[in-house]
């Protein structure tokens, strides 16, 4: 499926999502409220069938947090990127997609650990690398004068 067809197909099953052709892949922006049902639909739709979650990345933009999901369909071999913005930057929260792709459990734990993004309905949301009383180091306003020396 070409990227144009993919965009058309996505808009068919989800009207709330806005898709555009990004630099490499189709990029779809989804409002955080409907993200879980959107993700379920794109996985279960037989034409899209995004069954393989490659990578989950949290990005700290100055006024909000953004989660970026790289998805691939092992059947049709097409890829897309789903982006979800959180409403709040200080206490961001999103729905967990662990029940759709089990691998998300650990990628989300990592995002929670490093960026402090809370995932609703996550089965085991604990810190992964760091102590409980550490800050969230990948946030742009994270300060650590002892461990981080910058020139």
Partner 1 sequence: MDELKEVMITTDEIRTDEYLINMGPQHPSTHGVLRLLVQLEGEIVHNVQPHIGYIHSGIEKMTESLSYPQIGHLTDRMDYLSAHQNNEAVALCVENALQIEVPDRVKYIRTIMSELSRLASHQLWWCVMGMDMGALTTFFYGLRDREDILDIFEETCGARLTVNYSIPGGLMFDIHPNFQRDVKAFITKFRTKLPEYDRLLSGNVIFTERTKGVGFLSKEDAIAYGVTGPTARASGFACDLRKHRPYSAYDKVNFNEVLSDVGDTYARYQVRMQEMWESMNIIEQLIDNIPEGDYAVKMKGVVKLPEGEFYQRVETARGEFGVFIVSDGKKNPYRVKFRSPGFSNLFTINHIAKGWKIADLVAIMSTFDLVIPDIDR
Least distance to partner 1, CB of residue 137, Å:
5
The residue (of 33 and 75) whose beta carbon lies closer to partner 1 is 75
Over the window 53 to 92, marking each residue x when it contacts partner 1 by CB under 8 A and - when it does not, the resulting string is xxx-x-xx-------x-x---x--x---x-----------
Which one among 16, 93, 102, 123 touches partner 1, defined by CB under 8 A?
A: 102
Least distance to partner 1, CB of residue 62, Å:
10
Contact (Cβ atoms closer than 8 angstroms) between residue 30 and residue 53: no
- The count of chain residues that interact with partner 1, using the rule CB under 8 A, is 33
Which one among 45, 51, 76, 89 touches partner 1, defined by CB under 8 A?
A: 51
Q: How far is the C-alpha of 13 from the C-alpha of 62, rounded, in Å?
A: 32
Interface residues with partner 1 (CB under 8 A)? Answer: 22-25, 27, 51-55, 57, 59-60, 68, 70, 74, 77, 81, 101-103, 105-107, 110, 114, 128-130, 137-138, 148, 150
């Amino acid at each position: 499926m070409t990227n144009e067809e993919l965009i058309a197909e996505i808009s068919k099953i989800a009207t709330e999502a806005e898709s555009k052709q990004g630099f490499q892949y189709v990029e779809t922006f989804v409002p955080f409220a409907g993200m879980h049902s959107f993700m379920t639909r794109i996985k279960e739709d037989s034409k899209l069938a995004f069954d393989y979650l490659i990578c989950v990345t949290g990005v700290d933009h100055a006024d909000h947090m953004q989660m970026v999901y790289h998805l691939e369909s092992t059947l049709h071999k097409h890829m897309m990127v789903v982006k979800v913005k959180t409403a709040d930057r200080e206490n961001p929260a999103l729905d967990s997609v662990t029940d759709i792709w089990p691998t998300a459990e650990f990628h989300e734990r990592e995002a929670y650990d490093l960026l402090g993004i809370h995932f609703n309905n996550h089965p085991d949301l604990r810190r992964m690398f760091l102590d409980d009383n550490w800050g969230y180091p990948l946030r742009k306003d994270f300060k650590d004068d002892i461990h981080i020396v910058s020139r």
